[in-house]
A = this chain, B = another copy of it.
Amino acid sequence: AQEKFFAGIPKIQYKPDAGPGDVMCFKHYNAEEVLMGRTMEDWLRFSVCYWHSFCGPGAGPLGVPTQHRLWNKGSPMKSAKKRLCAAFEFFTKLGVKYYTFHDRDIAPEGSTLEESNRNLDEITDLALKLQNQTGVKLLWITCNLFTHLRYMNGAATNPDCHVLAYAGAQVKKGLEIAKKLGAENFVFWGGRGFHSIHNTDVAVELNHMATFFKMAVNYKEKIGLSCQFLIAPQQLEPGKHQYDYDAMSLIGFLKLCGLDSDFKLKIEPNHTTLGGHDIVMASAFGMLGSIDSNTGYPYLGWDTDQCPMDIRNTTLVMKVIVEQGGLHPGGLNFVAKVHRESTDLEDLFISHIGVMDAFARGLRNAVRIIEDGVIASMMQERYSSFSHGLGQKVENGTATLEEMEDFIKENGEPEVTSGKQEKYESVFNHYI
């Protein structure tokens, strides 16, 4: 019989009428309920993040690990297997259908590349078996090219080609594992950035990064891997200067390298103080591929990866997602960890349930906003001057400055039109 890690905890139920103190059930997330033609599960595509929830020990900038779990016992490989079993028990009890991991989360790094690869092979055999048993699927996989000592000066942007080669070898294996486990996406992180302009040749490093991405695209094609490539902008951490600050800068970089049709963006609000801004911008350019849902404290500069529970934010995010027709093959991955001080095993459940309910409320709100159409018709009216005449020419890109001048000479000063932001906010508040 399989070891039970969450022995007293049953499958989490939907109980819309539960009381304030009952935090071990869903009050809003009802997986099979259909909204605008799709189930909540399908709109939300929740995914549990393996490292924060199963490998993260609760260490802090000024403190040792606090979260001691039963699965962290035994030799590295033995404990890796127990951890994986615990995770699938958790996914199943929580009712989440996707998970995500870094290569080094799921299997311990060996003393050589070959040993690391063998470890990965062995552990992913078990993962494949558990996936098949439970129906849980792999939203995405990524390679950890930052924790190990060798990557302290970067991976694809390292000044030493030997390190870049190591990263390349690791990504090659990662792509093979993605194929083996049927990953729906493969993620590249935004990169380490750099600390000091004194010792960094920016142009050289970005050239190397472009080469690196192209090699990955080539190898993906070679092995017939059909998943979507994702890349994440990162405004803060770990370097002082990040190469890919926000959605727009990353789209620009991809375009410059001719890689813009090979990648979509994965946005992690807590990596960018721009928050929702990046989700909106990426979606506007047709580049929003997936979301790592977490939150941070404004004014705290570091990456706290907290559980996002603010209904206003989840409503805004879900509105963008529904408007663009969903996130497939991406999803809402919980790159969020319980607070360092939340040491009870049940806190893992409480936090995930809290976030899932917050997004379920956000989805319900967004659907009501879209179905009512009040805001949409206010917007349509606002931009209506571009549907005819000179406006249409601007829309089509065929207008000229001379026509503009003629128009003004004929029509004079435009009328003042209120932006009505408070009205939009009031209407929005109606749905919160």
In the complex, identify which listed stretch (A4-12, A73-81, A120-128, A201-209) lies at the interface while the others stay far away.
A201-209
In the complex, identify which listed stretch (A37-45, A82-90, A92-100, A410-418) lies at the interface while the others stay far away.
A410-418
User: Would you give the shortest CB distance from A156 to chain B, in whole angstroms?
Assistant: 9
Give A243 to B161 CA distance when docked, in angstroms.
Answer: 36
Q: Which residues of B contact A425 (CB under 8 A)?
A: 196, 198, 307, 309, 354
Q: Mark A164-207, 1 if CB is under 8 A from B, else 0.
A: 11111101110100000000000000000001111101111011
A351 interface residue, CB < 8 Å from B? Answer: yes
Q: Mark A288-332, 1 if CB is under 8 A from B, else 0.
A: 000000000111111100010111100010000000000000000
Q: Which of A58, A172, A240, A408 has the most CB of B within 10 A?
A: A408
Q: Which residues of B contact A280 (CB under 8 A)?
A: 197, 202
Closest 6 pairs between A and B when the two form their complex, measured CB to CB:
A252-B252, A301-B301, A168-B404, A341-B419, A298-B298, A161-B391
B385 touches A428 (CB 8 A): no
Q: Which residues of B contact A152 (CB under 8 A)?
A: 58, 60, 63, 66, 340-341, 343, 416, 419
Evaluate whether A429 and B358 lie within 8 angstroms (CB atoms) in the complex, with A172-B404, A196-B424, A198-B424 already known.
Answer: yes
A353 interface residue, CB < 8 Å from B? Answer: yes
A378 interface residue, CB < 8 Å from B? Answer: yes
Q: Which residues of B contact A166 (CB under 8 A)?
A: 404, 408, 413-414
Give A248 to B250 CA distance when docked, in angstroms.
Answer: 8
Q: Which residues of B contact A274 (CB under 8 A)?
A: 241, 245
A227 interface residue, CB < 8 Å from B? Answer: no
Q: Mark A136-168, 1 if CB is under 8 A from B, else 0.
A: 000000000011111111000001111111111
Q: Which residues of B contact A113 (CB under 8 A)?
A: 405, 408-409, 412
A218 touches B249 (CB 8 A): no
Q: Which residues of B contact A245 (CB under 8 A)?
A: 245-246, 248-249, 274
A108 interface residue, CB < 8 Å from B? Answer: no
User: Would you give the shortest CB distance from A357 to chain B, in whole angstroms?
Assistant: 7
Q: Which residues of B contact A340 (CB under 8 A)?
A: 152
B23 touches A426 (CB 8 A): yes
Give A375 to B20 CA distance when docked, in angstroms.
Answer: 9
In the complex formed, the residue of B with least CB distance to A202 is B284
User: Would you give the shortest CB distance from A203 to chain B, in whole angstroms?
Assistant: 4
A341 touches B195 (CB 8 A): yes
B426 touches A198 (CB 8 A): no
Choose from B204, B311, B407, B416 the contact partner of A343 (Cβ within 8 Å).
Answer: B416
Evaluate whether A147 and B62 lie within 8 angstroms (CB atoms) in the complex, with A252-B253, A252-B255 already known.
Answer: yes
Evaluate whether A63 and B151 lie within 8 angstroms (CB atoms) in the complex, with A163-B414, A357-B429, A382-B199 already known.
Answer: yes
Can you list 20 A-B pairs with a CB-CB distance of less than 8 A?
A20-B374, A20-B427, A20-B430, A21-B374, A63-B149, A150-B414, A152-B340, A160-B417, A171-B401, A195-B341, A196-B425, A197-B276, A199-B378, A199-B421, A202-B284, A251-B256, A307-B425, A309-B429, A339-B419, A354-B426
Evaluate whether A402 and B172 lie within 8 angstroms (CB atoms) in the complex, with A246-B245, A419-B341 already known.
Answer: yes
Give A372 to B212 CA distance when docked, in angstroms.
Answer: 34
Give A61 to B399 CA distance when docked, in angstroms.
Answer: 32
Give A423 to B352 CA distance when docked, in angstroms.
Answer: 11
Give A66 to B151 CA distance when docked, in angstroms.
Answer: 10
Residues 229-278 of A contacting B (Cβ, < 8 Å): 236-238, 240-241, 243-246, 248-253, 255-256, 273-274, 276-277
Give A347 to B417 CA distance when docked, in angstroms.
Answer: 12
